[in-house]
Amino acid sequence: MNAPIKPGSKADRDALRQDMSAAGCTTADIAIEMRTRYRMRPREAWRHAHGWTLQETADRITQASSRRPGESVAADASLVGKWEKWPAPSSRRPSLAVLFAAAEAFGCHIADLLDLADRRSLPDADLRVISSQQKDTEQSPALAAPKPPVSTPEPTGPDLVHLAADESATWAQWAEASNVGDIAIEQLMAETRALAADYLISDPVALFIRTRALRDRIFSLVEGHQYPRQSADLYVVAGYLCGLLAWMSSDLGQLRDADTQGRTAWLCAELSGHNDLRAWVLSTRSKVAFWDGRLREAVNFARRGSTYCSTGSVSVLLACQEADAWSELGAISEALAAVGRAADARDTMVGGDEVGGIFACPPARQENYAAAVQLRVGQPAEALRAADSALTLLAGEPVQAYGTEAQIHISQAAAHLATGEAEGAREALAPVLSLPPDHRLAPVTRRLSELSSGISRPYATGTAAIGLRAAIEEFCVDSAPRHLALSPGAASA
């Protein structure tokens, strides 16, 4: 048994066109039915009335325009799709040359390709030409298809100058129009800052959905028309949002998707020419590479980010990330040198962070990195000092990031274990083990797993050590990345 035809599908449209043609209906009748039944824009309805694809329509428009001297059109499938959608967002206004060529290709009048929304959005000069052509057609009803306006001699003298001025004015009306204003861009950036700040304290999956929705709004605006400086501002916002999605994807254990988001964020940074965004995107990509085990890439991303003249704390974070990767590679001198550069960057930091939240490196976050590095280079006493300092600094910050706090406590516990204090380690981990499952992000579970496997004799058989291992195992099983992996409706970018 054949599956029923879905309303509005190609098969449904083809069947309607065939039925109406067999009943003696004209192409105009079919176009009207298409518009009514499927709620199509007029130009799209005429295309489907003929049964043409976007590319077939583009070829016919190009061919028709070649018969109009001085008004040739180079159409393609993408342009036809945008002309059909106009004046909706992410569309393009068809010029008079396009409309004349399309009417000739479709075998209709220009008026048949326009509705009220089109007429309200067309320049007055275009409407006058269309109205004049429509009057000529009404006076010659025998004509089945529109003909070009009566050929007139090329204007000369003052008429030529006036015509050129009118053409420039028509273009200026288009160029001056924008689908986004400065206040709207300011609001979009404010929403991005709020998301970056909320990520420090909120459940990641719910925030991922909100971030994705805002990113989609920005992408839709970028596809429209605005001033070049507004386009650059939109690319900046889009870059930060893709960077945030990359960070969240990584924390949810989806490193490949995080890498994809990072590449798109980098493209936005390049298109905007924004150095702060470039640096933050490279910081994000360094983070993703680190947790993916691509430690040399993590170092290279961090170093590359440091070459951009940026403001705020990104230079501090980049040096911390470089130190993190070097310490994991076992390069002690390079790791400690990078820790020193992070301190120097803090002392010489200029300006504030444009976005903040996850795109900021306050002192507590810097000390958290220092503690992890000191542990890897075999200095547990220094690591414990850095972890204690980080907790003190974090308590003084307006927002306590639960992910940063958890990693600080893990460094504390690891330092205690390194000095044989299993009870001290369990006490340090108590706040981590009480985190709700939605806050148990991949970096936390990874570091806890490493801590558990690193518990060495003679403490491995002690009551405290055994209980600690069991608690860590239970914690990691009930985590945000595991929930996402097991969910058939996982959020995606």
DSSP of 199-239: TTTS-HHHHHHHHHHHHHHHHHHHTS---HHHHHHHHHHHH
Residues whose CB is less than 8 angstroms from the CB of residue 235 and which lie 6 or more positions away in sequence, other chains included: 222, 268, 269, 271, 272, 274
Residues of the chain with pLDDT under 50: 1, 140-151, 457-460, 489-493
Burial grade of 99 (CB within 10 A; 0-12, 13-18, 19 or more):
buried
Adjacent-strand bridge partners of 359: 356
What integer pLDDT is reported at residue 334 of this predicted model? Answer: 97
The distance in angstroms from the start CA to the end CA of the chain is 37
Helix (H, G, I), strand (E, B) or coil at 29: helix
Question: In this structure, what are the phi and psi dihedrals at residue 153, rounded to the nearest 5 degrees?
Answer: -60, 150
Residues whose CB is less than 8 angstroms from the CB of residue 386 and which lie 6 or more positions away in sequence, other chains included: 367, 368, 370, 371, 374, 411
What integer pLDDT is reported at residue 141 of this predicted model? Answer: 46
Helix (H, G, I), strand (E, B) or coil at 449: helix
What integer pLDDT is reported at residue 338 of this predicted model? Answer: 97
Residues 245 and 260: their CA atoms lie apart, in Å, by: 10
And the tokens for 221? 């605006």
Percentages helix, strand, coil for the chain, rounded to the nearest 5?
A: 70, 0, 30
Residues 317 and 362: their CA atoms lie apart, in Å, by: 9
What Cα–Cα distance (Å) separates residue 118 from each residue in 87, 143, 170, 173, 481? 6, 24, 16, 15, 49
Report the number of secondary-structure helices (H) and strands (E) in the chain: 24, 0
Number of neighbours of residue 259 by Cβ within 10 angstroms: 18
What integer pLDDT is reported at residue 332 of this predicted model? Answer: 96
CA angle (11 as vertex; 7, 17 as ends), nearest 5? 95
Q: Are 232 and 258 in contact (CB under 8 A)?
A: no
What integer pLDDT is reported at residue 461 of this predicted model? Answer: 52
Residues 413 and 428: their CA atoms lie apart, in Å, by: 5
142 DSSP assignment: T
Please name each of the domains of the chain with its CATH number.
10-151 (no CATH), 182-486 (1.25.40.10)
Q: pLDDT (tens digit, 9 = 90+) per residue, 121-177? A: 888 888 888 887 766 555 544 444 444 444 456 677 777 787 777 777 777 766 666
What integer pLDDT is reported at residue 492 of this predicted model? Answer: 42
In this structure, which amino acid lies at residue 240? Y
Secondary structure (H, E, C), 373-423:
HHHHCCCHHHHHHHHHHHHHHHHCCCCCCHHHHHHHHHHHHHHHHHCCCHH
In this structure, which amino acid lies at residue 386? A
Number of neighbours of residue 257 by Cβ within 10 angstroms: 18
